[in-house]
């Protein structure tokens, strides 16, 4: 929950010095005249001017010195960019929507409710969506099912729970038995890398036809050995 700001975009946050027992969590790149959006695990968003943050020459300061999050909450993500940058915001209960950075800003020290989090669910890391009308979304469950659908099928909202992305039983989600474990946005020229343990699966757009379906469906099983997905990433078009 500590924060600091460094000049230049070639800073490796993992290699900075930290207090005993502390470690690098996340970073965001932007301009010093922009706001930094902070998200917490309760679905709230907060914003601070980047130029007001302490220097990375020291170990920083706790965000709770400038912000007033709910008791027991944890900061999870930091975002920077243009006001009209769009992000996929989702929870592991399988719901999501598209929101802009402008919608995430709050002058309130207590922030504002951005993502409505279903019972026992967790907020997933936000994913930048460039041109939603030309993008696709891949969602994967802990049972190894993947569903691919057009990003335009998700609503753009200022806040809320969002719409069902992949069909997960609400009772099983609340019991943390069935969850959406990873999601991202990509374009038709991109290659998807699906990481499962030490292995990864490369999927081009033509390989994803088997997983395409209407938003809110169950999706189809990934190949054996790749059903226990840790994360997904995009390899851009060559």
Half-sphere exposure of 225 (CA within 13 A, CB side): 4
Q: Are residues 127 and 225 in the same domain?
A: yes
- Is residue 165 located within the same domain as residue 210? yes
pLDDT in 10s for each residue of the chain, 238 residues: 999 999 987 889 999 999 999 999 999 999 999 999 999 999 999 999 999 999 998 999 999 999 999 999 999 999 999 999 999 999 999 999 999 999 999 999 999 999 999 999 999 999 999 999 999 999 999 999 999 999 999 999 999 999 999 999 999 999 999 999 999 999 999 999 999 999 999 999 999 999 999 999 999 999 999 999 999 999 876 5
pTM of the predicted model as reported, rounded to 2 decimal places: 0.93
Statement to judge: residues 92 and 153 lie in one domain: yes
Within a domain: 106: no
Mean pLDDT of the chain: 95
Looking at the domain assignment, is residue 113 inside a domain? no
Q: Is residue 141 part of a domain?
A: yes
Residue 190: CB atoms within 10 A of its CB come to 19
Judgement on whether residues 92 and 175 belong to the same structural domain of the protein: yes
In terms of residue numbers, what domain contains 226?
Answer: 85-100+121-238
| 61 and 142 co-located in one domain | no
Residue 65 lies in a domain: yes
Same domain, 39 and 129: no
């Amino acid at each position: 929950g500590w924060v600091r700001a460094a000049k230049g975009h070639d800073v490796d946050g993992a290699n900075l010095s930290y207090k005993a027992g502390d470690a690098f969590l996340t970073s965001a790149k932007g301009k010093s005249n922009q706001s930094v959006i902070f998200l917490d695990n309760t679905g709230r968003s907060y914003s601070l001017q980047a130029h007001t943050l302490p220097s990375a020459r020291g170990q920083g300061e706790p965000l709770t010195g400038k912000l007033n999050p709910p008791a027991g909450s944890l900061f999870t993500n930091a975002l920077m960019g243009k006001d009209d940058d769009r992000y996929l915001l989702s929870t592991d209960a399988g719901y999501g929507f598209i929101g802009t950075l402008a919608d995430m800003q709050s002058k309130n020290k207590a922030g504002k409710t951005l993502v409505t989090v279903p019972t026992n669910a967790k907020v997933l890391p936000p994913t930048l969506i460039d041109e939603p009308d030309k993008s696709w979304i891949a969602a994967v469950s802990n049972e190894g099912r993947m569903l691919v659908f057009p990003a335009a099928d998700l609503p753009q909202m200022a806040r809320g729970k969002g719409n069902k992305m992949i069909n997960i039983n609400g009772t099983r989600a609340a019991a943390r038995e069935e969850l959406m474990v990873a999601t991202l946005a990509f374009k038709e020229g991109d290659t998807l890398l699906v990481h499962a343990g030490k292995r990864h699966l490369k999927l081009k757009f033509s390989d994803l036809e088997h997983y395409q379906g209407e938003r809110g469906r169950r999706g189809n099983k990934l190949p054996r050995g790749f059903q226990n997905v840790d994360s997904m990433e995009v390899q851009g078009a060559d």
